[in-house]
Structure 1
């Protein structure tokens, strides 16, 4: 991949993806967005000059075009090969009698609305990459959108209830991903929703069975194998297809 953009890269999975891509030189240019630069992300930037940190609060859509301009200036005619919409928030397990409207609004704003609107803003750069790499098959080396979803967004697998804000926002993101895959088909841009697993991060908690490194290694093994037939699917980090 020539260029990759990770939305929400200050910690957890996003930071892990940045480390993976820079350490293994999986991309020529890596863009990482965050609201505040953590010391760890800053240190990675010092070690790898191909990492560009961009300030972005995904809830502020007025800043999207600035990010697009910065990426366009750095990539030129090459465009953006891979967009990973990773920024997310999650409320704790909540039964119906405790759920609050503000929780629903926050989760939908960050987990659903932001990925849709960011993809819209970055679409010209994705199209540019697809055209610049017309000799390559549909996939992450040509042009792709990867939306970080969750098994909790699966309606078929919901046997516990609760988690209203998070479940609903991720189910909606899955629906958006499917629509993207349909609209992007003629542009030869892949769109897929990926569940990274239950990972030990600030969001996932200490009891999660997966460490960040394992999740990301398997995730990219899966991403690198995806083709046109996989666009619009809901997949687990290891490639297993998940039910809607």
Structure 2
């Protein structure tokens, strides 16, 4: 079962993989949040998410949100704001992300320099870094209200008060690049997630005065469409670990990068 995550929660990229599993574990927890907003770009293809929503109609709301489209983000913010019980949102999990470009011949794995151009770099940067920035901007007032209702900032920060969790990756670590590059070059993915890390640090500095915690979590190498069939971590174990780590976060974790097992990762 998921660890205790209270209040209202928004999860992006909820139609499959880690996002879908996070929503499922939250919804099926004995201490489920009061409201779960499952955001995804393609509502027509989100069959598993729709089935989950049918099992939890009073708890789970599906929201269309394309993180690469500022208009879609603004509209999703309005929709969520209209449905929030008290106008406050306790937690945003920025999970939506893309990888690429795909292999264009047998000699070049995805994301190598040989198959990477301007478009690939820009597309991943927009989705993986700009999107989470716009979401933080658009939904900030709901987080502020949640933090205000929890009392003075001196009482501490947590995911049950108000928080943004950015799903990052070990591959975003500049310090770890020499260790990880050979197994996964992936220029656009690494660079865009490194940008997400800086965004995390900036938001952590900016939002801490409101009592809003911001940090990043590496979910592990997970067996998903993105991670591939050889990944050693299941979506179930990854999501369980992520939710447990989030339940333990305090102000000392603000602006940090950790993995799904609670270990710190250097920037």
TM-score range, shorter chain: over 0.9
Distance 1:188 1:220 in 2: 20
Q: Post-superposition shift, 1:94?
A: 3.0
Q: Post-superposition shift, 1:132?
A: 1.1
Question: What's the counterpart of residue 146 of structure 1?
Answer: 165
Q: Quick check: 1:110 aligned with 2:127?
A: yes
Q: Post-superposition shift, 1:74?
A: 1.8
Matched length: 244
1:67 corresponds, among 72, 76, 83, to 76
Q: Quick check: 1:132 aligned with 2:149?
A: yes
Q: Quick check: 1:242 aligned with 2:255?
A: no
**TM-score normalised per structure 2:** 0.88
Q: Are the aligned partners of 2:111 and 2:189 in contact in 1 as well (CA < 8 Å)?
A: no
2:22 corresponds, among 17, 25, 28, to 17
Listed one character per residue, the Cα deviations across residues 54-106 of structure 1 (whole Å, up to 9, x for unaligned) are 11211110122221122222224351000011100011533323321111011
Distance 1:11 1:146 in 2: 18
2:64 corresponds, among 55, 58, 72, to 55
Distance 2:98 2:89 in 1: 25
Equivalences for residues 176-195 of structure 1 within 5 A = 176-195=199-218
1:42 corresponds, among 40, 46, 50, to 50
Q: Which moved more, 1:107-116 or 1:133-142?
A: 133-142
Partner SS for 2:249: coil
Distance 2:92 2:251 in 1: 16
Distance 2:217 2:99 in 1: 16
Aligned-residue CA RMSD (Å) = 1.3
Q: Are the aligned partners of 1:192 and 1:233 in contact in 2 as well (CA < 8 Å)?
A: yes
Partner SS for 1:97: helix
Q: Quick check: 1:33 aligned with 2:33?
A: no
Equivalences for residues 87-106 of structure 1 within 5 A = 87-91=96-100, 93-106=110-123
Partner SS for 1:182: helix
Listed one character per residue, the Cα deviations across residues 165-194 of structure 1 (whole Å, up to 9, x for unaligned) are 000000000001001110111100000011
Listed one character per residue, the Cα deviations across residues 7-48 of structure 1 (whole Å, up to 9, x for unaligned) are 110000110011011011421100011122311111000000
Q: Are the aligned partners of 2:222 and 2:235 in contact in 1 as well (CA < 8 Å)?
A: yes
**TM-score normalised per structure 1:** 0.96
Q: Which moved more, 1:157-166 or 1:99-108?
A: 157-166
